[in-house]
Amino acid sequence: MYSKNLHRFAILTAIFAVFLIGVGASVTSTGSGDAVPDWPLSYGTLFPRMAGGVLYEHGHRLVAGTVAILITILMIWLLRSKQPKYMKVFGVVAFVAVILQATLGGLRVLVVSNPNLQDTVTGLFSVGHVEPVRMAIAITHATLAEIVLCMTFLIALFTSKAWEKFKLNEINTGVKIAKLYTLTFVFAFIQILIGALVRHTQSGNIIPDFPLSFGRLIPPFGNLPYEPNAPFPISYAELQFKVAIHFAHRVWAFVVAGFGIYASVLAIKKRVELLSQFAKVWIVLIILQILLGALVVWTKLSVPITILHVATGATLFGTTLVLAVLSWKGVAVSERVESELVLTKSGG
Amino acid sequence: MKKLISIVLLFSFISFAFAQNATVKGVVKFSGEAPKPRLISMKADRQCDAIHGGKQVQAEDVVVNQNGTLKWVFVYVKEGVKGKYNPPSEPVVLDQQGCWYHPHVFGIMVGQKLEVRNSDPLLHNIHATPKKNKPFNIGQPVKGMKSYHTFDTPEIMVPFKCDVHPWMSAYAGVLDHPFYSVTNDKGEFEIKNLPPGTYTIEAWHERLGTQTQTVTVKAGEVKTIEFTFERKK
Ligand SMILES: [Cu+2]
């Protein structure tokens, strides 16, 4: 079943998917999301002059187009191959997700620049202003991107020779690691959602210091520095909300790190090939990610640092999924059935 | 003859009414050491950079004039205006020239036409991000293009930006009356034709925030007031 070329192609697609998330992050960080008001064409052409913000926004469209083509080829390749059926399903899911992703990207632009569409959506969601809809689309777009990335990571894993070997080896790493990694994956997904919320509500620098918040362990929610005579004042409640989600992103990072590091230490101890290697990668990535997060605050949202933080977060998320899959595969069949029974019972 | 008399009467009444209207004027001062002007490099778009001969351009976010006053402060009547005012038929022009908005701060009435022009031989997008009015984003890829827009709700202030050239920014004060002014390069503002009454006057600055004062003007009075903004710590 193993095809070297298919695997290499899947790896290439996965790398491009990470790159695409970085490019997407550069659009948000440079505030270039609206530099090209039309879609799918850019200023009525496929190749506008790549100056200023157009470079980021149109660059994002070009890279996204490339990823869409790669994923389409990958899907066709999988469908025509003798790969197991679930692989074909993954291929199709990745394809559908990337098409949906492109549509969301287009909607995000047109909801501002197309007055008719703007009226339609504000009417549809009965909101007075398009801003909450625009924000919701942007956050969904950012989150779905991570799903696309996960699909490409899984396909890359499943088409690898190491995976074939891993399946054949009679290994038992126990259900504990599997459960821990699954929790870490769910927690990491929540963290990505909070992160997207922080970014798209412009709350990235609302707490100016790190590791402390306004010089304290917990932000003083009742006594935040508030400027009622600001040129564009926000309500105190809105300020509290922004501080709350930013703070949640910080606290939650340590929850994800705690569970993930614990699972990874256990996994490394098992000395199972592939699993322990990915576990080591995970620990390196989480340290890097927290450091980048601190640097984002210290550099007051430096564009390259923020892009790296988003791209590393995505890679970490995909790696967590790979680890969760590997660790479930490492659970002996008898034990797996048992724990599934427990899960269904406790899940009600 | 009767008709003539009534016309003469009407005219004298109108001119009398205008003569009875008050003026609020003054300056907006800046206290403390003037910040160093922020310089903007247009290297991100070579064509823009070329227009300015490769030189950096001074940002207009905080402009302290030679006489220690503040430019680009939007001064307007926030409260106290009674009656309905129709927008003038001539449009307000926002020009894009040298990858820069002209003017940087302006007032416009609800329902009044805003004409956005592209005087540059390159593309801009005009992206307004109001919170009360509808946002819009128009591409103007070609020199000489003009777009029109009207606002339907008063709003202090509506930001404009070009996402192609992130240094381009402008602000519009949208009001349902004509009592507003923007400080010039001597820091002066002047609000004319105010009916007698008591008003809250607000001065808005894009970085330094807002300040208000209450004034009462009598018929025909010219009242001078002053605002002072301090440098932000
Ligand atoms: Cu521009």
Q: Å from B80 to nearest chain A CA? A: 20
Q: How far apart are CA A323 and CA A177, in angstroms?
A: 9
Regarding whether A26 and A125 lie in a shared domain, the answer is yes
Looking at the predicted structure, is the pLDDT value of residue B16 above 60? no
How many helices (H) and strands (E) would you count in chain A? 11, 0
**Contact: A34, B163; criterion CB under 8 Å:** yes
ipTM tops 0.90? no
- So what CATH class is B86-164? mainly beta
* Confidence grade of residue A348 (pLDDT, cut at 50, 70, 90): very low
Grouping H, G, I as helix, E, B as strand and the rest as coil, residue B34 is coil
Q: A215-254 b/e with 16+ CB inside 10 Å = b?
A: eeeebeeeebeeeeeebeeeeeeebebbbebbbebbebbe
Distance B114 CA to ligand 1 centre (A): 17
| A5 and A109 part of one domain | yes
Q: Rounded CA gap, A163 and A161, in Å?
A: 5
The reply to whether A269 and A176 lie within a common domain is: yes
**A208 shares a domain with A70:** no
CA distance B8 to chain A (A): 48
- B45, B141, B208: residue with CB nearest A43: B141
Q: What tokens does B185 get?
A: 């390069």
Is residue A43 predicted with pLDDT exceeding 60?
Answer: yes
Same domain flag for A282 and A236: yes
CA distance A291 to chain B (A): 28
Assign B175 a pLDDT band (cuts: 50, 70, 90).
very high
Give the number of beta-carbon pairs within 8 Å between A and B.
90
Q: Answer whether B134 sits within 8 Å of A130, measured CB to CB.
A: yes
Q: Could you report the per-residue pLDDT of A220-245, keeping only the tens digit for each?
A: 999 999 999 999 999 999 999 999 99
* A347 — pLDDT class (breaks 50, 70, 90): very low
Cβ burial B74-102 (10 Å sphere, 16+ → b, else e): bbbbbebbeeeeebeeebbebbbeebbbe
- Banded pLDDT at A100 (limits 50, 70, 90): very high
pLDDT of residue A165: 87
Q: Report the residue of A30, A34, A38 to disrupt the B interface, i.e. the one with the largest count of B CBs within 10 Å.
A: A34
| Nearest chain A residue to B204, by CA | A231
Domains B1-82+177-233 and B86-164 belong to one CATH topology: yes
Q: Among partner residues A33, A37, A129, which is closest to B138 by beta-carbon distance? A: A37
User: Given B45, B137, B211, which is nearest A229 (Cβ)?
Assistant: B211
Residues 6+ positions from A65 with CB-CB distance below 8 Å: none
Q: Ligand 1 centre and the CA of B141: distance in Å?
A: 10
Residue A341, pLDDT above cutoff 80: no
Decide if A51 and B134 are in contact by the 8 Å CB cutoff.
Answer: no
The CATH superfamily label for domain B1-82+177-233 reads Carboxypeptidase-like, regulatory domain (2.60.40.1120)
pLDDT of A129: 95
Chain B residue with CA closest to A58: the answer is B164
Percent above pLDDT 90 for chain B: 87
Where exactly are the structural domains of chain B? Answer: 1-82+177-233, 86-164
Between A30, A43, A230, which is nearest B139 by CB? A43
Using an 8 Å Cβ cutoff, are B168 and B96 in contact?
yes
Choosing from A159, A189, A224, the residue where a domain stops is A159
The b/e string for A308-323 (b: 16+ C-beta within 10 A; e otherwise) is: bbbbbbbbbbbbbbbb
Structural domain span for residue A91: 1-159
Distance CA A212, CA A201 (A): 21
The verdict on A110 and A70 lying in the same domain is yes
Interface test with A, best of B74, B122, B137 (most A CBs within 10 A): B137
Q: What is the average pLDDT across A113-126?
A: 95
- Please, what is the average pLDDT of chain B? 92
Please count the other Cβ atoms lying within 10 Å of the Cβ belonging to residue A161. 11
What digits encode the pLDDT tens for the residues A319-334?
999 999 999 998 866 5
Residues of A in contact with B205 (CB under 8 A): 231
- Compute the average pLDDT of residues A43-63: 94
pLDDT digits (tens, 9 = 90+) for A180-201: 999 999 999 999 999 999 999 9
Number of structural domains, chain A? 2
Do residue A174 and residue A321 come from a single domain?
Answer: yes
Answer yes or no: do A131 and A31 share one domain: yes
For ligand 1, the distance from its centroid to the CA atom of residue B99, given in whole angstroms, is: 5
Which range, of A126-130, A145-149, B17-21, B92-96, averages the lowest pLDDT?
B17-21
pLDDT in tens, A136-178: 999 999 999 999 999 999 999 999 999 988 887 777 888 999 9
A8 and A117 inside one domain: yes
How distant is the Cα of B228 from the closest Cα of chain A, in angstroms? 14
Q: Looking at the structure, do residues A109 and A168 belong to the same domain, yes or no?
A: no
How far is residue A74's CA from residue A70's CA, in Å, rounded to a whole number?
6
Chain A interface with B: residues with Cβ < 8 Å? 30-38, 43-44, 48-49, 51-55, 57, 112-113, 115, 118, 129-131, 227, 229-232
Domain finish residue from A130, A159, A188: A159
- Residue B182 in contact with residue B72, Cβ under 8 Å? yes
Residue A151: CB atoms within 10 A of its CB come to 27
| Chain B residues with beta carbon closer than 8 angstroms to that of A32 | 163-164, 166
Q: Give yes or no for B127 touching A (CB within 8 A).
A: yes
Task: Give how far B193 is from chain A: nearest CA, Å.
Answer: 27
Residues A241 and A313 reside in one and the same domain: yes
Question: pTM for this one?
Answer: 0.90
Pick A35's closest partner by Cβ from B163, B204, B211.
Answer: B163
pLDDT of amino acid B3: 59
Q: How far is ligand 1, taken at its centre, from the CA of residue B165, in Å?
A: 4
Per CB-CB distance under 8 Å, the chain A contacts of B48 are 51-52
Interface check for B147 against chain A (CB to CB < 8 A): the answer is: no
Chain mean pLDDT for chain A: 93
What average pLDDT does range B3-23 have in this prediction?
60
Kindly state whether B44 is in contact with chain A, defined as any CB-CB distance less than 8 angstroms.
yes
Q: Which residues of A touch B159 (CB under 8 A)?
A: 232
Pair A117, A176 in one domain: no
